[in-house]
Amino acid sequence: MDGAPSDDWHPDTWLVAGGRDAGPGDPLNVPPVLASTFVADGAHSYTRVDGSPTLEALEALVGRLEGGTATAFGSGMAACSAVLDQVPAESHLVLPGDCYHGVAGLADDGMARGRWTVDRLPVADADAWVAAAPAADVLWLESPSNPLLEVADLAPICAAGHASDALVVVDNTFATPLNQRPLEFGADVVVHSATKFIGGHSDLLAGVTVTRDADLDAALRRSRMLLGAIPGALEAFLAIRGARTLALRLERGQANAGELAVRLQDHPRVRDVRYPGLPDHPTHDTARRVLDGFGAIVTFEVDGDAEETEAFIGRLEVVHSATSLGGVESTIERRARWSGQEHLPPGLVRLSVGCEHVDDLWADLARGLG
């Protein structure tokens, strides 16, 4: 599924050409292999145990992009759960203060059961992460973070983690492998919600882990098997098909996002626009060093309370009121409406910028803001 010519290919080319193993008379695109059971004594026996050709194509595609070996899961949370499944009892976890609420909930649940202890640190404070590393068993980073888009200085944090034998995990969902490759900075494992930018069309649930450690990958695959966290064949097929256009979608989405961020800064009903590409973003200098692009997410505060912010969202026509992100269509939501996010300002919204024309997006936002 990953032939030698790809070693010299640009990632944009690999997205289109990778994960294929077609010969004469074979389908050009890897089809969804709709099978749970295979005839004995071949490469596959039972999909939950050893995968399928469709899953392997997705894993080859994403793994080469990140520079490691990928394992596909039924959702991003399934991938995160499998990583935490490797953590011994009585461990100490360090998570971002600005952390995806699903992962924060999973960590809090484990703490309540006595599995581990948890500390939370600001993503932007690299010195605090380095100082915390000697007492940590796991350093779990999101970069950029969700939803405040803080970018971590990965190199010193990863180095400190390795010096202390801590497992360094980086959620790379927002950056995608095109804008950031955490394994190159020294991370032990990368996680993705492939539901989002990799799939790109709001029509599937899938997750991926990527690591260069063969033993860790084997352990993650064992957890996938035992937990039954395998993705379906159709979901894997859709993720592959979506990933083929990731470079094009991300190029358009982040160009739109950068322009909208600048325009939003000048609107009288908007405050605290957060986009790593803006010079006044708290981690702009770090983002310029570690990212190849600033991404397609913009977070900002509407000057109003929760009711006024929901009214603004309700007036939008081009931008859809919906959770999740990374699709071809632009979506927006007020983050404090979700359990575990109540601490955020009531007017804070996360805008996932899609591939529509930027002037139509701006006209819609400006009309909604009034």
Condensed to tens digits (0 to 9), the pLDDT of residues 300-336 reads 999 999 999 999 999 999 999 999 999 999 999 999 9
Say what the alpha-carbon torsion angle 63, 197, 239, 336 is, to the nearest 10 degrees: 120
Catalytic residue among 48, 212, 263, 269: 48
- Residue 1: pLDDT band with limits 50, 70, 90: very low
pLDDT in the model for residue 22? 85
121-158 pLDDT tens trace: 999 999 999 999 999 999 999 999 999 999 999 999 99
Those residues with Cβ within 8 angstroms of residue 290's Cβ, 6 or more apart along the chain or in another chain? 143, 151, 152, 153, 154, 155, 180, 185
- Residue 21: pLDDT band with limits 50, 70, 90: confident
Those residues with Cβ within 8 angstroms of residue 63's Cβ, 6 or more apart along the chain or in another chain? 2, 69, 70, 210
**88 burial type by CB count under 10 A (0-12 exposed, 13-18 middle, 19+ buried):** exposed
Active site residue 171: yes
Check whether 175 has a pLDDT greater than 50.
yes
One-letter amino acid at 197 equals: F
Determine the Cα–Cα distance for residues 196 and 134; give it in Å rounded to an integer.
34
Catalytic residue among 20, 64, 181, 196: 196
Q: What percent of the chain has pLDDT over 90?
A: 95
Are 243 and 15 spatial neighbours (Cβ–Cβ below 8 Å)?
yes
DSSP code, position 4? G
Are 302 and 343 spatial neighbours (Cβ–Cβ below 8 Å)?
no
Active site residue 196: yes
Catalytic residue among 64, 100, 274, 335: 100
One-letter amino acid at 247 equals: A
Catalytic residue among 98, 171, 217, 364: 171
Check whether 340 has a pLDDT greater than 90.
no
**197 burial type by CB count under 10 A (0-12 exposed, 13-18 middle, 19+ buried):** buried
Determine the Cα–Cα distance for residues 40 and 211; give it in Å rounded to an integer.
30
Check whether 186 has a pLDDT greater than 90.
yes
Determine the Cα–Cα distance for residues 176 and 122; give it in Å rounded to an integer.
21
Spell out the long-range contacts of 99-106 with Cβ–Cβ below 8 A and sequence spacing 24 or more. Answer: 99/140, 99/142, 99/145, 99/146, 100/142, 100/146, 100/171, 101/338, 101/339, 101/340, 101/341, 102/76, 102/77, 103/77, 103/140, 103/142, 103/171, 104/340, 105/340, 106/77, 106/80, 106/81
Check whether 3 has a pLDDT greater than 60.
no
Are 311 and 283 spatial neighbours (Cβ–Cβ below 8 Å)?
no
pLDDT in the model for residue 6? 61
Check whether 4 has a pLDDT greater than 90.
no
228-287 pLDDT tens trace: 999 999 999 999 999 999 999 999 999 999 999 999 999 999 999 999 999 999 999 999
Are 160 and 133 spatial neighbours (Cβ–Cβ below 8 Å)?
yes
DSSP, residue by residue, 91-135? EEEEEESS--HHHHHHHHHHHHTTSEEEEEE-TT-HHHHHHHGGG
Which contiguous run of DSSP H or E holds residue 220?
A: helix 214-227
- Residue 23: pLDDT band with limits 50, 70, 90: confident
Sheet strands (E) in the chain: 69-73, 91-96, 116-121, 138-142, 167-171, 189-193, 207-211, 270-274, 297-302, 320-321, 331-334, 348-352
pTM: 0.95
- Residue 341: pLDDT band with limits 50, 70, 90: confident
Say what the alpha-carbon torsion angle 285, 288, 290, 293 is, to the nearest 10 degrees: 140
Q: What percent of the chain has pLDDT over 70?
A: 98
Those residues with Cβ within 8 angstroms of residue 140's Cβ, 6 or more apart along the chain or in another chain? 93, 94, 95, 96, 99, 103, 107, 169, 171
Determine the Cα–Cα distance for residues 20 and 28; give it in Å rounded to an integer.
8
